Amino acid sequence: MATKTITKSIPRAARVAAPAPLPAVRLTVNKAYKMYVGGAFVRSESGRYLQVTASSSGGADPAIVNVPRGSRKDVRDAVLVAKNASEGWAARTPFNKSQILYRLAEMMESRRSELVTSLLRGGTAAAEREVDASIDRVVFYAGFADKFHALVASSNPVAGPHFGFSVPEPMGVVCVIAPARPSLLGLVSTVLPLIASGNTCVAVCGMDDPRTPLLWCEQLATSDLPGGVVNVLSGHASELAPIMARHREVMAMDVWGVDKALAAEVEQLGTDNVKRVKVHGPQADWYDERKAQGLGFIERFLETKTIWHPVGI
Amino acid sequence: MAKKTDSQSKAIAGRAAQPVSGSHALDFGKAWTYAPSPEATDHIKLDKRYELFIGGAWKKPRAGKYFSTISPSTEEKLADVAEADAHDVDLAVTAARTAFDKYWSKMPGRERAKYIYRIARAIQEKARELAIVESMNGGKPIKESRDVDVPLAAAHFFYHAGWADKLDYAFQGRRARPLGVAGQIIPWNFPLLMAAWKIAPALACGNTVVLKPAETTPLTALLLAKLIEECELPPGVVNIITGAGPTGAALVNHPDVNKVAFTGSTDVGKRIQRAVAGTNKRLTLELGGKAANIIFADAPLDQAVEGIVSGIYFNQGHVCCAGSRLLVEESVHDVIVRKLTDRIATLRVGDPLDKNTDVGAINSKMQLTKIQELVKAGEDEGSTRVSAACALPAKGFWFPPTFFTDVAQSSRIAREEIFGPVLSILTFRTPDEAIEKANNTMYGLSAGVWTDKGAKIFWMGQRLKAGVIWGNTYNKFDPTSPFGGFKESGFGREGGRQGLAAYVELEG
């Protein structure tokens, strides 16, 4: 730590433009991508990795990047921290949740260029569009965190001397198999509605481009979101989804874009604890605000709690 | 009461009940002996044999098989009922599909509404008949079928009728489409009421229905079918088929069913969830429970004791949301046990058709065996049993109101759903401990909280993992009030605006 490293820095543009590696004055520092569990960045306990292709636009990554290949134990660790974070997160006031989610949008906006560069289509207008839509989606759900109650709760006019009402409550730990793409917008669009309503989650990010979701976790980590509320694993959905489906502390699953056989397997395994498993076909358009965001995304992972009390003197 | 003092009465099964009452209890002498007050049944005309109600007509089962349905209070046969096989199920689903395509999905909501209102009114008109048959076939006291089951069944149709032309208001900014054919399977504890809970919202939302009542209690569902026929609903909109497990399985597995709704045990619910996995069928499950009924020291104790009684002895405890685990704050444990001991001594157990009866017959021999087995497990595990020292009729299936003290959280009687008039009493010292114990179950259907402190009710209410929470009351139901569970008590809600979601596809 005490050693002072002396480097001569040169503008990135010049470095990228330089065709031959030999005369490079400074070697770039490659980032080791890690999963995000309990507010910490972790490798897979299994030590396994997957290799993925990095951005074509010359981001900081080399052409081939190693990402952790999450294991059964990683799922169990993540579910444990998500479960432990559950009570505290659900107990925060909706206003507080709303502010924390808005803070996440701020963190994303300030690191917007980093996200744009990181995406596989790095630096293109398409990448910019995805990042902007992702940030806007976070803002959308930040604003929903203290409003959906009013839309789904009810005062129940029962035929008797009782006051009755029904309120929404989070289910607990929800596991997400995020759509393969768009890797950032897909993860944001599936995770945000869950946590806006007080659930905690363990998500397997889309593996077409896992680097950007893992980069996004760095923004989660600086957004005031308590550790454990969102946990993101990289790995094979076909390996991890059945483990999640079998886990008895997982109350629900949101499964996107898997094949029919895996979907059926997950639904089968989930019956062990009457899991609420929602399997979706491919979402036609994650940019369509009418279809890819809204109350329905929140409502899917809510329980209704009905309370009665006599009225009298 | 006549039946209870009958010389033929048999002793309570199992260990002899502890003697009830002490010096503190009021001695009414013979004042508690009521003259018999049986509901007249001479106006009830049951058919000898019931066929399947398919496509608006009464069809014989293809295999020609019938089973008898009995009265659990007399063990006498009431009628023969058709047993539907996969072929009959297919006919029913096809009839429902045709009705959906041809009539029901095309009909304006306001017209659907008027049909459903007709059903509600017809139930009210036939209320007495339905209540009596319900008590004959299911064993529940006539005062419950007359004052709870039947009026609530009518109310469910009346309430949901009004939704049929207002679905556009129910889901803000989203259009609701019906799902198609709903296959519905209901239990034996509230036969007519459960049929109403299932059929009314399905029809209001524009779906057609194939309903299978439980094999021990098919009669009121068949009377409902007759009543629906008389209301002149388009043929096939409601089909009612009878049978046991295999009939239900054929219905669940039928490829042309779009939606499965089931109320029953968690075990069967999981099997249905497994059967539906990998299909596009929508599913709602209303399963078992092991509800905590929590009594704080500051509760009005006499009212709480009434709440305990209605929580666990209502409908012989055959209630998925029964308050079967009593959590009592330690300081009032002894006084609650004393009051409860005195109170159950006054419960009148016997003829379901007697208007004075509080606790009727156990629904079936099978259920009685299950209750006896779990009670024995409670005794074997060292809990102390208290049963009302009432005499029980010689014929029929009976179990006296019972509770256990000295129950550990790990005891089978504290963990498993007994579905009978058997209460397990545990204690706690702090609200946190009460929450911990209440939530320490795979179920999450309901809970009760008794305290004089409003803030405490809300504090508890926020932390209890249960779909329905009764504060200073218990076992209240209403069509405007969503009902359904957390965790392994199932998913989806029945009743209220929230209940409609189970029967619609939302666009946008």
Class of domain A72-310: alpha beta
State the pLDDT confidence band at A10, using cuts at 50, 70 and 90. very low
What pLDDT sits at residue B507? 80
> Is the pLDDT assigned to residue B18 strictly greater than 60?
no
* Contact: B472, A305; criterion CB under 8 Å: no
B205 has catalytic annotation: no
At position A217, the amino acid (one-letter code) is C
Helical residues (DSSP H) of B353-452, grouped into ranges: 365-380, 412-415, 431-439
User: For residue B444, what pLDDT band results from cuts at 50, 70 and 90?
Assistant: very high
Q: How far apart are CA B381 and CA B396, in angstroms?
A: 29
Q: Which pLDDT belongs to residue B207?
A: 98
Q: Report pLDDT digits (tens) over A180-226.
A: 989 999 999 999 999 999 999 999 999 888 999 999 999 999 999 99
B318 Cβ contact list (under 8 Å, min separation 6): B140, B188, B189, B362, B363, B367, B419, B420
Kindly tell me if the per-residue pLDDT of B14 is higher than 80: no
Assign domain B29-36+289-471 to its CATH superfamily: Aldehyde Dehydrogenase; Chain A, domain 2 (3.40.309.10)
Q: How many residues does chain A have?
A: 313
Q: Where in chain B is the domain with CATH 3.40.605.10?
A: 51-287+485-507
- Whether residues A274 and B155 touch (CB distance < 8 A) is answered with no
A120 alpha-carbon distance from chain centroid:
18
The per-residue pLDDT for B7 is 37
Please report, rounded to a whole number, the percentage of residues in chain A having pLDDT higher than 70: 90
Which residue of A lies nearest to B282 if distances are taken between CA atoms?
A278
Min Cα distance A221 → chain B (Å) is 28
Closest CA to B290 of B70, B431, B441: B441
What confidence tier does A7 reach under pLDDT thresholds 50, 70, 90?
very low
Q: Which of A31-45, A146-160, A284-298 has the lowest mean pLDDT?
A: A284-298
Q: Across-strand partners of B283? A: B260
CB A281 within 8 A of CB A263: no
Q: What is the pLDDT of residues A26-78, one digit of tens each?
A: 888 889 999 999 999 999 999 999 998 876 555 667 888 999 999 999 999 99
Chain region(s) in chain B for CATH 3.40.309.10: 29-36+289-471
What confidence score (pLDDT) does residue A66 get? 94
pLDDT above 90 coverage of chain B, percent: 92
pLDDT of residue B508: 59
Largest Cα–Cα separation, chain A: 88
Over its C-alpha atoms, chain A yields an Rg (Å, rounded) of 21
pLDDT of residue B34: 83
Residues 6+ apart with CB under 8 A from B228: B53, B119, B238
CB contact under 8 A, A273 and B442: yes
**Once rounded to an integer, what is the mean pLDDT over residues A77-100?**
98
Contact B496 A267 (CB under 8 A): no
By the CB < 8 Å criterion, does A285 face chain B? no
| Mean per-residue pLDDT of chain A | 91
DSSP letter assigned to residue A135: H
Per-residue pLDDT band for B273 (boundaries 50, 70, 90) equals: very high
Per-residue buried b or exposed e for A163-193, using 16+ beta carbons within 10 Å of the residue's own CB = ebebbbbbbbbbbbbbbbbbbbbbbbbbbbb
Is B8's pLDDT higher than 70?
A: no
pLDDT of A303: 98
Q: Which of B286, B329, B417, B494 is catalytic?
A: B286
Residue A159 contacts B where some CB pair is shorter than 8 Å = yes
Least confident of A56-65, A81-90, B448-457: A56-65
- Note the pLDDT of residue A6: 41
Q: Which residue of B has its CA nearest to A150?
A: B172
Burial of residue B312 (CB within 10 Å: 0-12, 13-18, 19+) is buried
Question: Looking at residue A16, what is its pLDDT?
Answer: 54
> How large is the C-alpha radius of gyration of chain B?
23
Q: What is the mean pLDDT of residues B331-338?
A: 98
Return the residue of A nearest to B269 by Cα: A274
Contact B467 A164 (CB under 8 A): no
Look at A304 and B172 and tell me if their CB atoms are within 8 Å.
no
pLDDT for the residue numbered A24: 63
Partners of B476 on chain A (C-beta within 8 Å) are: 158, 160, 162, 308
Strand-pair partners of A279? A255
In the CATH scheme, what is the homologous superfamily, with its name and number, of domain B51-287+485-507?
A: Aldehyde Dehydrogenase; Chain A, domain 1 (3.40.605.10)
Interstrand relation of A250-256 and B52-54 (parallel, antiparallel or unpaired): unpaired
Residue A60: the pLDDT is 67
Exactly one of B83, B134, B205, B320 is catalytic; name it: B320
Min Cα–Cα distance to chain A from B93, Å: 24
Residue with tokens 């009460």: B434
Partner residue opposite A304 with nearest CB, options B172, B442, B467? B467
Give the pLDDT score at A23. Answer: 60
Q: Inform me whether the pLDDT recorded for B33 exceeds 80.
A: no
DSSP 8-state code for residue B497: H
| pLDDT for res A281 | 81
User: Mean per-residue pLDDT for B113-128?
Assistant: 98
Burial B62-79 (b: 16+ CB within 10 A, else e): eeeebeebbbbbbeeebb
A313 pLDDT more than 90: no
Residue A282 confidence class, pLDDT cut points 50, 70, 90: confident
Lowest mean pLDDT across A112-116, A165-169, B218-222: A112-116
ipTM reported for the complex, 2 dp: 0.93
- Sorting pLDDT into bands at 50, 70 and 90, what band is B22? low
Residues of chain B that touch chain A, judged by Cβ-Cβ distance less than 8 Å:
155, 172-174, 266, 269-270, 273-274, 276-278, 285, 287, 442, 457, 461, 466-473, 476, 478, 480-484, 486-491, 493, 496-498, 501, 506, 508
B480 closest CB neighbour out of A156, A273, A307:
A156
Best of B273, B279, B293, B457 to mutate (most A CBs within 10 Å, chain A) = B273
| Cis geometry, peptide bond prior to residue B201 (ω within 30 degrees of 0) | no
